[in-house]
Structure 1
Amino acid sequence: MDTPTETCCQHHLEHNPTARVKALLPQDEDLLDLADLFKLFSDGTRVKILYALLESELCVCDLAEVLNMTQSAISHQLRTLRSGKMVKFRRGGSTIYYSLADDHIFRILEQGMTHVKE
Structure 2
Amino acid sequence: MDERKEIDSCSCSIIHQDIIDKVKDHIPQEELLYDLSDLFKVFGDTTRIKILCALFQAEMCVCDIAALLNMTQSAISHQLRVLKQARIVKYRKDGKVVYYSLDDEHIKSIFNQGLEHISEKK
TM-score scaled by structure 2? 0.87
- TM-superposed CA distance for 1:6, in Å, is 2.9
Structure 2 match to 1:102: 104
Aligned residue type for 1:66: L
Structure 1 match to 2:68: 66
User: Which structure 1 residue ranges, 5 or more long, are not aligned?
Assistant: none
- TM-superposed CA distance for 1:92, in Å, is 1.1
Runs of 4+ in 1 over 4 A off after TM superposition: none
- TM-superposed CA distance for 1:10, in Å, is 2.7
Aligned residue type for 1:68: N
Distance 1:103 1:6 in 2: 40
User: Which structure 2 residue ranges, 5 or more long, are not aligned?
Assistant: 1-6
Distance 1:5 1:37 in 2: 29
Structure 2 match to 1:9: 13
3-state SS of the aligned residue for 2:106?
helix
3-state SS of the aligned residue for 2:35?
helix
TM-score scaled by structure 1? 0.89
Distance 1:36 1:53 in 2: 21
* 2:48 is aligned with 1:46: yes
How big is the alpha-carbon RMSD for the aligned residues of Structure 1 and Structure 2? 1.7
CA-to-partner distance for each residue in 1:9-53, whole Å, 9 max, x for gaps? 1344xx711110011110000000000000000111011101110
3-state SS of the aligned residue for 2:68?
helix
Relative to 1, partners in 2 of residues 1:21 and 1:91: Cα closer, same or farther, differing over 3 Å? Answer: same
Q: What is the percentage of aligned positions where both structures have the same residue?
A: 52
